[in-house]
Every structure is written in structure tokens, then in C-alpha cells.
A = this chain, B = another copy of it.
Amino acid sequence: MTIASTLPELDTKLKQAHLLDTVGALLSWDEQVNLPPNSADLRAAQRAVIADVQHSAASDPHIGELLEFLEKERAQLTEDQRVVLYWARRDYNKATKLPADFVREKAEQSSRGYQAWKQAREKNDFASYAPVLQKNIELAKREAAYLGQGAAPYDYMIDCFDPGMKAAVIETLFDELKIGLVPLVRQITSSKIKAREEALRGFPVERQQTFLREVTQAIGFDYGRGRIDVSPHPFCSGSGADVRMTTRYHADNPLGSLFGSIHETGHGLYEQGLPIALHHTALGRAVGMGVHESQSRLWENQVARSRGFWKFFEPKYRATFPEQLGSISSEELYLAINAVAPTLIRTEADEVTYNLHIVLRFELEKKLFAGTLAVADLPKTWNAMSRELLGLEPANDSEGVLQDVHWSDGGFGYFPSYCIGNMMAAQLWYHVLGLRPQLEDDFARGDFTWLLGWLRKNIHALGRRYDTLALVKLATGEPLSPKYLLRYLKERYGPLYLS
């Protein structure tokens, strides 16, 4: 073995495992976008067999030999090669410590879980969903145990989505955030100024699609390497070579779909900015979901809810929907874009109260994993916390505990990333404003290239070289802090609601 021969061999192996991963992701995308209602069994079997062969590829003992050799030669490797090696080892350990049977069981459960969730939400039937949730928690704990993390399974789950992050760190950040956020939310929601969102009605879906495409293309999404479709729960999957985003349309909630789609476009832009040729190694992979969310949130909120953005797009929006917007003034439209109103549905929440939805889920996940909350008691506790935090109690579980897809396939520990992303987005925003104070003037001309260029260079191109906390420090010169998010919320919403 030589370094010169081992590195390309490892590369080939990693590429095969990655490609099988992308096939699994496509099956999952197709399941949510296209799958006929009675084809779920076949899809579960297909996903299981792909998980199986992916697991075989990722746990090929030859990878272990290559890694061992390279680890001995570590001193000879470049920095980048060490990054690849570090993550390849981590992934290999994960692949080899999880038995093939377990991986298959989890994949099957994930597919069935999604179908069960969909049905339960439709029928408002938490009881039918509870066993799925129970099993998903058990599977997560078993997985943590297989990887020697049985003592802290929730930390393990968080680390799956946001490597390096821990529940205790999140708790500290969230606590500081709450101190500032709770009074701010109280101030704003008791303001007499109210957005007239209900005035936005009857926006034909086809024209929404046209406008959406114009916006997402303008901010830089490359439709030559991606697409947007419709699914019950919006998401962004695929890799930069073929990004698959989804949204949902409601004629009477055009902004929900628009901003949801810009959010997914932010994810898509990150994926498209990662070096394509290196997608199969850590150098071409996203840091984690926290950073991913920082990108989606930055475009959705700091950018697309700004005055500058709407200076450019308002005339186009009015041209697309002349009747629908005829009786709405510019200021009313801008207020609707930045509407604040507590809602039961996280994905429809305004960005001021959004973080309270996350706190709710973070607290519940912690308790579920600590065993201090039983699955059967989840609806009751959800409803109580919802009343306490949001001031609203769900009338039924479909608008409560059944609203999110995440837990249906075992995605515990994912929710905190949204709030980490919000904090990071605001911190990036003030940093780039420091570098280019005229940024909103760019937007007002429909020019998003400077911002995208900066993100490409300082975030996207770096792949997984740094974890979330290190990347924030490197990109902004400061450790991650909630203070920028608080400042941003005050500066954007204060003048609208508190003046």
C-alpha cells in the first residue's frame, strides 16, 4: 500500500457508498412527491434493499484497511486529506457498528412511519401513530447504544444532524435567547398594529408557481441542476448535482408558499455551492443541519423579508396578481410579509415566535429520551406547553403533535438545528452588512450575486472542514451567540409594530 494508491481507492469506495445514498434519497423524495397511495409496501421494500446494499458498500472491510493505513500515514497527508479521513473513519465506524439487520429494520420502519404519520394526521388519530413513535425512540436508543453513546442518546441524535453539538450547549444558547425573546414576543403580539394577511386571497396556483420561479432564479438557484415539486411537507433533498425541493400551494396563503419555497431554495443554494466533484467526501458535504438552516433562514428572512428585496419584487408581484393586490398598499403588503401572529403550525409561524415552537419540541424530545415523558402523554403535554409558550392550544392533534413529519422517520434531535440556524443566519447577516453596507441596495436592483458569492466562498465552498461553532467563529470572527438574532428581530419588527 502507498498513499498514492490508497487515496484514489478510498475515493472510489466512498463514491459508491455516496451514490447509493443519493438513490435512497431519490426513493424517499419520490415517495413523498409521487408514490401512489397503495404502493407503500413496495417502496418500503425498495428502500430496505437500497439501505442494505448501501450499508454493505459503506461497511466494506477494505475501507477499514484503507483507513487504517492512511491513519498510520497521517503525518504525510494534507489538511484536506485529513478532513476526508476523519469523516470517512467516523462514517465507517457508524456503518460497521450498526448491524445490517438493524439498518434494514430502521429503513423499513422509516417508510412505514411516514405512511402512518400521513394517515394519522389526516384522521386526527394519535393513537394509531403512538406505537410508531415508541418504536422510533427505541430504535434511536438502540442505535446510540450500538455506537457507545447509550448513556446520552439524545446528544447522539443531535450530533447526527449537527456534528459536535450537544443538548447542554443548546440549552445555554436557548436560555439566553428566551430571556430576550419572551418580552419581545409579548410586546409585539400585544401591539395594536396587525398585519392584514387575510386580505391576501385567491392567488391562482399557476401564477404563484411562475412568480416563485422568477424569485428563486433571481436569487441564484440553478434549475439546470434542480427542481421544485409539491409534497405535503416541504423539504429539500438530493445533492447539488440534482436538488429536489418541494413546497405546497394554497390560493389563500400565497406568502406561506412563497417564503417556504425561498427557505428550501436557501438549502438548495448551499447544496449547489458545495463542490460537486467532492460530494462523496467531507470536503463536498454540508457541515450539518444547523448551518444548512442558517442558509435557508438567511434567504427566507434576512433577505426575502427585507425592504430592499421588495423594492425590486413588489412591482413584479403586483403585475402577476393585479386584482388580488389591487386594494393592498405597499406598506400593508410589507407588514403582511412580516406578519407576527402566534399560530399552532410551526411551518406557518412568523420568524419572531418561530423559535418558541422549537423550544417546545426541544423540551419534549429531551423528556422523551430521558424517560420523564411517556409517548401516550405526549398530546396532553404538547397542548399544555403550546398554551404556555404560544398562548394557543391545538383543537386537535393534527394541528398539534401530529403536525410535523420529522419524528415519523425517527428524526429526533433535528428541531434544535432550526433555531441554531436562525441564530447563525442573523450573525452572518450583521457580519456581511459590516462588509457591504449597501447590500439592500443590491437587492433593490435584483442583484443577489455579492451575497451569494460571499456565502459560496465563506460557507459553501468549505464543505465540512469546520463544525458549526468553528465555522461561525471563522466566518464572523465571533462565537455563535443569540444576540444577533435578538437584535435583528428588534430592528426589523420594532419599527413595524412598536413605533
Chain A residues packing against B (C-beta within 8 Å): 15-16, 19-20, 22-23, 26-27, 30, 34-39, 41-43, 45-46, 49-50, 53, 57, 222-227, 229, 239, 241-242
Q: Are B34 and A227 in contact (CB under 8 A)?
A: yes
Q: A34-B229, A39-B242 are in contact. List 12 more A-B contacts (CB 8 A).
A: A15-B45, A16-B49, A20-B53, A22-B46, A23-B23, A23-B49, A26-B46, A37-B224, A39-B226, A41-B241, A42-B242, A53-B57
Q: Are A42 and B241 in contact (CB under 8 A)?
A: yes
What are the 6 tightest A-B residue pairs by CB atom distance, in nearest-first order?
A39-B242, A38-B224, A42-B241, A19-B49, A53-B53, A38-B225
Q: Are A42 and B22 in contact (CB under 8 A)?
A: yes
Q: Are A23 and B50 in contact (CB under 8 A)?
A: yes
- Residues of the B chain whose Cβ atoms lie less than 8 Å from the Cβ of A241: 39, 41-42
- Residues of the B chain whose Cβ atoms lie less than 8 Å from the Cβ of A23: 23, 27, 46, 49-50
Q: How many copies does the complex hold?
A: 2
20 residue pairs from A and B, CB less than 8 Å apart: A19-B46, A20-B49, A22-B42, A22-B46, A23-B27, A26-B27, A26-B46, A30-B30, A34-B229, A36-B224, A36-B226, A37-B224, A38-B224, A38-B225, A39-B224, A39-B226, A39-B241, A39-B242, A42-B239, A43-B242
Q: Chain B: which residue is nearest A279 at the CB level?
A: B42
Q: Are B36 and A242 in contact (CB under 8 A)?
A: yes
Interface of A is mostly: helix
- Residues of the B chain whose Cβ atoms lie less than 8 Å from the Cβ of A239: 42
> Closest approach, in angstroms, between the C-beta of A119 and any C-beta of chain B?
14
- Residues of the B chain whose Cβ atoms lie less than 8 Å from the Cβ of A35: 242
Q: CB within 8 A of A36: which of B30, B37, B53, B225?
A: B225
> Closest approach, in angstroms, between the C-beta of A122 and any C-beta of chain B?
15
> Closest approach, in angstroms, between the C-beta of A281 and any C-beta of chain B?
15
Which of A41, A49, A223: most chain B CB closer than 10 A? A49
Q: CB within 8 A of A26: which of B22, B30, B224, B229?
A: B30
- Residues of the B chain whose Cβ atoms lie less than 8 Å from the Cβ of A224: 36-39
- Residues of the B chain whose Cβ atoms lie less than 8 Å from the Cβ of A36: 223-227, 242
- Residues of the B chain whose Cβ atoms lie less than 8 Å from the Cβ of A45: 15, 19
- Residues of the B chain whose Cβ atoms lie less than 8 Å from the Cβ of A38: 222, 224-225
- Residues of the B chain whose Cβ atoms lie less than 8 Å from the Cβ of A50: 23
Q: Chain B: which residue is nearest A39 at the CB level?
A: B242
- Residues of the B chain whose Cβ atoms lie less than 8 Å from the Cβ of A49: 16, 19-20, 23
- Residues of the B chain whose Cβ atoms lie less than 8 Å from the Cβ of A46: 19, 22-23, 26
In the bound complex, CA of A57 to CA of B36 (Å):
27
In the bound complex, CA of A350 to CA of B255 (Å):
49
> Closest approach, in angstroms, between the C-beta of A57 and any C-beta of chain B?
8
Q: Chain B: which residue is nearest A47 at the CB level?
A: B23
Q: Chain B: which residue is nearest A42 at the CB level?
A: B241
> Closest approach, in angstroms, between the C-beta of A19 and any C-beta of chain B?
4
- Residues of the B chain whose Cβ atoms lie less than 8 Å from the Cβ of A30: 26, 30
> Closest approach, in angstroms, between the C-beta of A13 and any C-beta of chain B?
12
- Residues of the B chain whose Cβ atoms lie less than 8 Å from the Cβ of A57: 53
In the bound complex, CA of A46 to CA of B35 (Å):
20
Q: Chain B: which residue is nearest A224 at the CB level?
A: B38
- Residues of the B chain whose Cβ atoms lie less than 8 Å from the Cβ of A225: 36, 38-39
In the bound complex, CA of A39 to CA of B29 (Å):
16
> Closest approach, in angstroms, between the C-beta of A166 and any C-beta of chain B?
35
Q: Chain B: which residue is nearest A223 at the CB level?
A: B36
In the bound complex, CA of A226 to CA of B229 (Å):
18
In the bound complex, CA of A36 to CA of B23 (Å):
15
> Closest approach, in angstroms, between the C-beta of A388 and any C-beta of chain B?
43
In the bound complex, CA of A241 to CA of B40 (Å):
9
In the bound complex, CA of A110 to CA of B57 (Å):
24
In the bound complex, CA of A239 to CA of B50 (Å):
18
In the bound complex, CA of A223 to CA of B53 (Å):
30
- Residues of the B chain whose Cβ atoms lie less than 8 Å from the Cβ of A16: 49
> Closest approach, in angstroms, between the C-beta of A451 and any C-beta of chain B?
23
